[in-house]
Amino acid sequence: MKLSDLATVIRSKNAGPFELTFDVLFANHDDFERVVSKRLFIVGLSVMVRERVPTPVGMDLCCRRKRLQAYLVFQSAM
Amino acid sequence: MRDLSVSRHVTILSPTAILGYGFPESSFRAGLARHPDVIAVDAGSTDPGPYYLGSGESFTNRDAVKRDLLLMIEAGLDLDIPILIGTAGGAGAEPHLAWCLEIVDEVLCDLGRCARVADIASDQNRDSLISALHSSRITELGPVPPLTQDAIEKSSHIVAQMGVEPIIEALDQGAQIIVTGRCYDPAVFAAVPIRAGFSEALSLHLGKILECAAIAATPGSGSDCMIGVIDESGFTLEALSPERKCTVTSVAAHTLYEKTDPRYLPGPGGVLDLARCHFEQMDERRVRVTGTQLQKGADYTIKLEGAQPVGFRTISIAGIRAPDLIQQLDVVLKDVRDRVFANFESIDSREAQLLFRVYGQNGVMGDLEPLTDQRPHEVGLVIEVVAKTQSLADTVCSFARSTLLHFGYPGRQSTAGNLAFPYSPSDISHGVVYEFSVYHLMIVDDPVSPFPMRIQNLGTVR
């Protein structure tokens, strides 16, 4: 089964100039638990750091190294 | 204006996600029929990149901004409710604020109206910033290097995000239209309900959703209206176009939108805590939110944003369809790079940076692209050069383009050009390149004084 079969929202979005977020949302608690409990995927919200790379003339928004900054699982009282 | 301190609810109309992105007039009229207490719009974002803050230009179109403002200002004055515009001109620095104020004045003149207009600046004085830096009042925000005096001195504009306090001050002084410099996105939506005594936590959470208007509905749109009604225990959201609706998923998803932490949403002076947040489907089209909390810090911190020029850019766009070239493109591009810098020995490679963006291969994700062993049947190539001067960027880009055009790679059967150019001229001088040089938090003594306000009558009668 693919993650897209279970999740209702899958998206990536920058959070400010230097961070990239991935959000995966589920419609019900069972689907959420199914993925989270088995650690089938990095669920909830994870962050990939867009590091500023110091270069002679600078470069805006350059991805050089990937690093997982945070792995967070969030359950709202939906 | 209506006295909201005795009211049991406040209704906030958000016409569009960004001032200038437009909205259907039918949705806007449906919103006006709900008797809103304020029309608020966010006009800014750092998403379009550092260029706009650095250069002082707006990323939105002037005619499009004027069209949106014309409808909003006319309706706001007719209903005698405030019109609040956050982060004028996209980035909120002095030239952006002046640009937006000029449009507001023009709209008022076109309407034959006069209004009391407040503008609130957000530019931060360099000397004060340097002194704050040396007294350890500035810290990094996320994965950025520590701020330096050099970055403060070289940045063309440095702004700070204001909270609701300066906006409330302007409302207290009777402003009908408030145009702010850089502003925490939710603040223009939260200011009126907070001033009327409603929960700061709920007001800011409502603002966080309304600032993107109908993006929080399904199907989402950045160019359609949304309305929010806050009362003493929660708030209710509704999209104003009949084709969209708010669902628990669409509203919850938007609460986490562009946030690194899904539970804590930090802003000026405090952090929203969503742990006890409850989303409830009221009917097919409306969602109610309750339980949001606000943790206030001991210090009041504001976010600083700055951009500095780092060089000049030239690009050239070309397509490649030859399978034998695509097969060995990475090696060929490395050879081209070596040939370019070998040809201009006088050019210090630190003065010019040559970059190939290979769309169809990894142009979108770059080094993060997981599919590395697949060869497309065609690629779109962007040759990009950033250099110390425009002339040097033009030279290096031109030479890289001509070298690749006739490059004799191993096994090549063609004896003609390797590149298909969609445009003539093929090279585009792109001007100054900026980077975000300041993205830090600063502790301030009070939330109002860093943001000087001015009130004046604009429009037909001065």
SS3 labels along B304-369: EEEEEEEEEEEEEEEEECCHHHHHCHHHHHHHHHHHHHHHCCCCCCCCEEEEEEEECCCCCCHHHC
- The Cα of A63 is separated from the nearest Cα of chain B by a number of Å equal to 7
Amino acid A46: pLDDT: 34
In this predicted structure, the answer to whether residue B57 has a pLDDT above a threshold of 80 is yes
In this predicted structure, the answer to whether residue A65 has a pLDDT above a threshold of 50 is no
Report, as an integer, the average pLDDT of A3-10. Answer: 81
Could you tell me if B330 and B372 are in contact, meaning their C-beta atoms sit under 8 angstroms apart? Answer: no
Chain A residues whose CB is inside 8 A of the B261 CB are: 45, 70, 72
Tell me the pLDDT band of A63, cut-offs 50, 70 and 90.
Answer: very low
- The Cα of B111 is separated from the nearest Cα of chain A by a number of Å equal to 37
Respond yes or no on whether the N-terminal peptide bond of residue B193 is cis (omega within 30° of 0). no
Q: Residue count of chain B, please give it.
A: 462
In this predicted structure, the answer to whether residue A50 has a pLDDT above a threshold of 60 is no
CA distances from B30 to B15, B33, B227, B240 (A): 11, 5, 10, 6
Please indicate whether residue B371 or residue A54 has the higher confidence score (pLDDT). B371
- The Cα of A34 is separated from the nearest Cα of chain B by a number of Å equal to 18
Spatial distance between the Cα atoms of B123 and B339, rounded to a whole number of angstroms:
45
Nearest to B353 among A21, A44, A55 (CB): A55
Amino acid A67: pLDDT: 45
Residue A71 contacts B where some CB pair is shorter than 8 Å: no
Spatial distance between the Cα atoms of B178 and B171, rounded to a whole number of angstroms:
8
Amino acid B194: pLDDT: 97
Amino acid A53: pLDDT: 36
Chain A residues whose CB is inside 8 A of the B50 CB are: 17, 60
A vs B: CB pairs below 8 A: 123
Spatial distance between the Cα atoms of B171 and B167, rounded to a whole number of angstroms:
6
- Taking only the tens place, the pLDDT of each residue in B84-111 is 999 999 999 999 999 999 999 999 999 9
Please indicate whether residue B370 or residue B35 has the higher confidence score (pLDDT). B35
Amino acid A44: pLDDT: 33
Contact at CB, B310 and A58, closer than 8 angstroms: yes
Output the pTM of the full model: 0.90
Mapped onto helix, strand or coil, the DSSP state of residue A31 is helix
Across chain A, what does the average pLDDT equal?
59
Q: Residue count of chain A, please give it.
A: 78
Closest CA to B227 of B212, B243, B239, B211: B239
Contact at CB, A57 and B256, closer than 8 angstroms: no
Both structure tokens of B332: 């060929």
Closest-CA residue in chain B for A52? B144
The dihedral built from the CA positions of residue B107, B112, B118 and B123, taken in this order, carries a sign that is positive
In this predicted structure, the answer to whether residue A45 has a pLDDT above a threshold of 50 is no
Chain B residues whose CB is inside 8 A of the A66 CB are: 367-368
Spatial distance between the Cα atoms of B292 and A11, rounded to a whole number of angstroms:
24
Closest-CA residue in chain B for A12? B258
Contact at CB, B386 and A58, closer than 8 angstroms: yes
- The Cα of B278 is separated from the nearest Cα of chain A by a number of Å equal to 5
Tell me the pLDDT band of B43, cut-offs 50, 70 and 90.
Answer: very high
Contact at CB, A78 and B252, closer than 8 angstroms: yes
Report, as an integer, the average pLDDT of B213-239. Answer: 96
Chain A residues whose CB is inside 8 A of the B263 CB are: 72, 74
Contact at CB, B262 and A51, closer than 8 angstroms: no
Report, as an integer, the average pLDDT of B108-116. Answer: 97
Amino acid A73: pLDDT: 56
In this predicted structure, the answer to whether residue B402 has a pLDDT above a threshold of 60 is yes
Report, as an integer, the average pLDDT of B124-148. Answer: 94
Report, as an integer, the average pLDDT of B447-451. Answer: 97
Amino acid A61: pLDDT: 30
Report, as an integer, the average pLDDT of B278-298. Answer: 93
Chain B residues whose CB is inside 8 A of the A17 CB are: 46, 49-50, 436, 439
Nearest to B310 among A49, A51, A57 (CB): A57
Contact at CB, A61 and B274, closer than 8 angstroms: no
Closest-CA residue in chain A for B349? A56
Chain A residues whose CB is inside 8 A of the B258 CB are: 13-16, 21
Contact at CB, A13 and B263, closer than 8 angstroms: no
Contact at CB, B249 and A15, closer than 8 angstroms: no
Return the percentage of chain A with pLDDT > 90, whole number.
0
Chain A residues whose CB is inside 8 A of the B278 CB are: 76-78
Contact at CB, A23 and B256, closer than 8 angstroms: yes
Mutation pick from A55, A60, A73 vs chain B, by most beta carbons of B within 10 Å, is A60
Contact at CB, B386 and A57, closer than 8 angstroms: yes
Report, as an integer, the average pLDDT of B261-266. Answer: 83
Long-range CB contacts (< 8 A, 24+ apart) of B137-141? B137/B442, B137/B443, B137/B444, B138/B304, B138/B440, B138/B441, B138/B442, B138/B443, B139/B440, B139/B441, B140/B439, B140/B440, B140/B441, B141/A16, B141/B303, B141/B439, B141/B440, B141/B441
Spatial distance between the Cα atoms of B179 and B85, rounded to a whole number of angstroms:
5
Amino acid A31: pLDDT: 79
Could you tell me if B237 and B287 are in contact, meaning their C-beta atoms sit under 8 angstroms apart? Answer: yes
Report, as an integer, the average pLDDT of B252-274. Answer: 85
Chain A residues whose CB is inside 8 A of the B353 CB are: 55-57, 59
Across chain B, what does the average pLDDT equal?
95
Closest CA to B230 of B199, B257, B209: B199
Instruction: Enumerate the β-bridge partners of residue A49.
Output: A19
- Taking only the tens place, the pLDDT of each residue in A13-39 is 888 888 877 777 777 778 777 776 765
Q: Are strands B352-359 and B453-459 parallel, antiparallel or unpaired?
A: unpaired
